[in-house]
A and B are shown apart, each in its own frame.
Chain A
Amino acid sequence: RKEVEQDPGPFNVPEGATVAFNCTYSNSASQSFFWYRQDCRKEPKLLMSVYSSGNEDGRFTAQLNRASQYISLLIRDSKLSDSATYLCVVTSNTGNQFYFGTGTSLTVIP
C-alpha cells in the first residue's frame, strides 16, 4: 500500500471556481503534513503546511483529519495562475522521510 494516495485528476475548472483536492495517508503516526505546488518542468515549492486545527492562507485552506487519515486543500476563486500540479506530503513518524503523493493536476480555464 502506498504511503500517500492522491487523485491524479486532471481537474479543469473555470476561473472563479472553487476546487478541492483530497489526499489519504496510511501511517497513522505521521507527524507533519504539507501541500506543495509544482509547475511544469519546475521544482516543487511549499504551498502551505497543514496543521491539526486547519489553516488558511488567502484563497487556500488546508485541513487535516487524523481520524480518517486524510488531508485536503481547498482553493477558492481560482485564478489562471493556480494552474499547476499539487502534491500532498506526509512525513514518517520520525520526520526523517517525506512521502509525496503523485500529484493532482489543476488547469484553470479562462
Chain B
Amino acid sequence: DAEITQSPRHKITETGRQVTLACHQTWNHNNMFWYRQDLGHGLRLIHYSYGVQDTNKGEVSDGYSVSRSNTEDLPLTLESAASSQTSVYFCASSEAPYNEQFFGPGTRLTVL
C-alpha cells in the first residue's frame, strides 16, 4: 500500500545544530508539504513543493529550507536549530491542489 513516512520520529538536538527531517511518500504525488503543529496555533505551513526542483515558502518558513530532487522525498532542514523550533512536524502529500492531503506520522523535535 502507498504510504508517507517520516524519520526520525523523535529527535532531541541542541541550539545551533543543523537538523534534517526526512519525508518519503510512495503515492507518486507531485505536491508535498511541511507543517509544524504547536499548541494554540494549529498546523502552520512551513514549505511546500509542486514537483521536482520546485519549492515555495509557507507561512512560517524562516529558519527552514527544503529541496526536492525527486518525486518521493522532501527533506526539511533547520539550518541552525532554535528553541522556538521545538514542535511536532508533519509532512503531507496530495495528488493536486484542492485535493485531500495525506499526512505522515509526524516527528517530535526538541531543541535544548
Residues on A lying within 8 angstroms of B by beta carbon are 4, 31-32, 34, 42-46, 49, 87, 91, 94-98, 100-103
Contacting residues, chain A, for B44 (C-beta < 8 A)? 100
With CB as the reference atom, state the residue of chain B lying closest to A34: B100
Is the beta-carbon distance between A102 and B40 smaller than 8 angstroms? yes
In this complex, the member of A32, A43, A95, A103 whose beta carbon has the largest number of chain B beta carbons within 10 angstroms is A43
Query: B interface vs A, CB < 8 Å?
Result: 33, 35, 40-45, 48, 50, 56, 58-59, 90, 97-98, 100-101, 103-106
> Bound state CA distance, A95 and B56, in angstroms?
14
**A98 touching B45 in the complex, CB below 8 Å, given contacts A31-B98, A43-B105:** yes
Asked whether A49 and B100 contact (CB < 8 A) given A42-B105, A43-B106, A97-B48, the answer is yes
